[in-house]
Structure 1
Amino acid sequence: MTNQPYGAYDPSYQGQSYQDQSYQDQRQAAAQGVWPGQQAHEDPYADPYADQQYTQQWQGQTWETQTQPPVAPAAVAPDPAPAAPVAPVTPEPPAAPEAGPEYGPATLAGNSRVTDAQRARAEGRSPIIEPGIQPAALTALLGLLLAGGAALGTYALLVPLVLLQGLTAAGWFRLNGMWPARQGIALGFLGALAADAALLASDRSPAAILGTLGVWVLLSLVLQLRSHADPDERMYGLMATVVAAALAIAAGGYLAADASAVTAGAVAVAAGAVVRALPLPTPVSVVVALLAAAGAGFAVDGSAGAALGAGAAACALIGHRVASYDYPSRFVHFTAGVALPLAAAAPAVYALGRLVA
């Protein structure tokens, strides 16, 4: 044992720690200019892994050290300026109606263009739309057929007359907004055929027209009483059926009248219908149509024909006016618009023909 106190430094002590030895080796290597892990002379037989005990090895992932560009903060939109108050929109006045009777097409999805009838209703104008030149031309054609048939004989007159009666019954129901109305149209048409048969059987006696009309009114009343519709609807259907039958039966007056009267009256109605369809002011058109009808009657049968033609044309213009009422459709124009002028003129042709004969 030595007399040194416990813990004092003893240079001869052989139990130096590894850290002291390592520190002395590092100082010696630095004095020679060689760092740990580097040989003073390149030794081909040196241990290649000797310097790893002094170099720290990273076993995990590393972070990218490249400098990233700074991220600019998102631009904040300025608060929107308060909206200016919106002035109320004043609706534009409806456009003026066009020169001709043009109608928009009927579609399931609706029509972007208002019809002439809708515009007239919105503006508070008259609910009258006249048939136009095409129905007037058909009226003139049918009138000429009646005149030619009367000149040829009774049975030749019967063919255009039956066509006139069918158009009259169908057009009246459609004019009143009742479609389809097959039973009413068939009933009125059958009444007209029954009247024609009665006229032929009675040697064209006008009593056959009155008798058939009375029977058909009673038949229409019985059929409407058997209907299960509400009272208002039954009354409306009864009136439409009675009037349709009456007009179709009354057209049989051409069959009861003299042949010369039928010829003059039918020609006069044809001329008046065409002139009435010309684009003239209504009062002027009516006057000119009456004058044209009287002139056509005069050309056929002299002064008697002129008087008969003027009277027949006056009744025809009433029928034309009725066919123009309450925003009629094209179907109405080509049925009632064609037939009603001639059907309304038939009683005048018979009565005036008896007077001027």
Structure 2
Amino acid sequence: MSNQPYEGMYDGGYDPYQQGQAPYPQQGQAPYPQQGQPQYQQPPQYQQPHPAAQYTQQWEGQTWDTQVQPTPAYVPQQSPESGQWAQQQYERSRPAPEPPAAPAAPEAPLTAAQRARLEGRSPIIEPGLQPAALTAVLGLLLAGGAALGEYALLVPLVLLQAVTAAGWFRLNGMWPARQGIALAFAGGLTADVALLVAGREQAPAAILGTLGVWVLLTLVLQLRSHADPDTRMYGLMATVVSAALAIVATGHLAAEPDAVTVGAAAVAVAVLARALPLPTPASVVVALLAAAGAGIAVGGMTGVGNGGALLGAAAGACALIGHRVASYDYPSRFVHFTAGVALPLSAAAPVLWVLGRALV
């Protein structure tokens, strides 16, 4: 066996490697025969394959190149652990379910204001007989204190000023408002002290001076507030009016004692008459007549005399105005027992001071 490759293949045939013969052309070049020599054709079984095709597997029949095969859907196989992990991730990504609604609490008994609102009735609800009785008691205390002296009058007057300050804030829907109530009540006390120090002759200066100082003080305090402008303005007006009512109530201390006795008694009778179960026009007329009659009766026992009828009727009219203000806009029971008690007496104080000086 010869050591030369393909030695037997070229026996008696054409040997391209003989001297003077050209070798096979390089890859990518077409074979070329020389002139005068026959063209050699390699047997089909020994044709040199393309270099890239030496490593390509040949398939018979239908292949991927000859027929388009449908693409199967890819279904990833998951282990039980991976499926459980995916379920946990899904549960975590879901929004938390809303908690079940709490059962409705039983509705408390309706107040008179709520019942009137539901029934579509007037928003004016009068304080009633109990607040009127408290007003009558406080009025009699003022009348008796005025008959005894300034310091005896001071005790029920301070109580009246405290109830007035608290009732006005609650009537305006501002509760709790401890700072405003304390400021208004302090204004009333300051006016009382200023009047006692200056004397009854200097009552206008003591009352108006205290009122001016308290308005300025209230304005400064409201400007330092961090609330929104609307809330500050509303608080400013409520505080100023509450302080003004508490300070004006000092007029009981500035008026003539006999005038205070007549006027406080007339207010007590007028408020009780207004609380009677009568139609509103009739009860107003009855209240004014009762106040004038009380003025005549008490005036006859004091130095007022026949002027007691006018003084009693004027005090009764002021009491009805205060009673009407305390009845406005669905007031609560607390309003009835504060503003409803104090406003009739506080509103009558300026009239008692003016008419008392004229009649006594």
TM-score for both structures, normalised by structure 1:
0.68
Q: How does 1:136-285 map to 2 (within 5 A)?
A: 136-204=132-200, 205-285=203-283
Contact preservation (8 Å) 1:206, 1:253: no
Structure 1 stretches of 4+ moved >6 Å: none
What 5-or-longer segments of structure 1 have no aligned partner? 1-107
Which amino acid in 1 is paired with 2:190?
A
Distance (Å, rounded) in 1 between the aligned partners of 2:152 and 2:117: 45
Whether 1:290 aligns to 2:292 is no
Q: CA deviation at 1:211?
A: 0.5
Q: Which amino acid aligns with 2:324?
A: R
Name the structure 2 match of 1:353. Answer: 356
1:303 to 303, 306, 313: 306
Q: Is the 8 A contact 2:251 2:350 kept in 1?
A: yes
Q: Secondary structure at the residue paired with 1:269?
A: helix
SS at 2:123 equivalent: coil
Counterpart Cα distance in 2 of 1:113 and 1:132: 19
Query: Are the aligned partners of 1:146 and 1:161 in contact in 2 as well (CA < 8 Å)?
Result: yes
Query: 2 CA distance for matches of 1:221 and 1:291?
Result: 42
- Which stretch has the larger CA shift, 132-141 or 301-310? 301-310
C-alpha spacing 1:247/1:110, structure 2 compared with 1 (3 Å) = farther
What amino acid maps onto 1:314 in structure 2?
A
Structure 2: runs of 5+ lacking an equivalent:
1-103, 300-304
Alignment of 1:39-188 (within 5 A): 109-111=105-107, 114-188=110-184
CA distance in structure 2 between the partners assigned to 1:232 and 1:241 by the alignment: 14
Matches within 5 A, 1:330-349: 330-349=333-352
Amino acid at match of 2:252: Y
**Counterparts in 2 of 1:294 and 1:111: CA distance versus 1, 3 Å:** same
- How far 1:118 moved relative to its partner? 3.0
Alignment pair present for 1:327 and 2:325? no
Cα 1:114–1:139 change in 2 (3 A) is closer
Q: What letter matches 2:323 in structure 1?
A: H
Contact 2:322 2:344 in 1 (8 A): yes
Deviations 1:122-166 (A, max 9, x none): 444321111111110010000000000000001000000000000
Give the Cα–Cα distance (whole angstroms) in 1 for the partners of residues 340 and 106 of structure 2. Answer: 27
Aligned length, in residue pairs: 250
Q: Aligned AA for 2:346?
A: A
Counterpart of 2:128, as a letter, is G
3-state SS of paired residue (1:206): helix
1:53 aligns with: none
Q: Is contact 2:161-2:185 (8 Å) kept? A: yes
Moved more, 111-120 or 164-173: 111-120
Helix, strand or coil at the partner of 2:157 = helix
CA distance in 2, matches of 1:237, 1:212: 20
**What's the offset of the Cα at 1:215?**
0.5
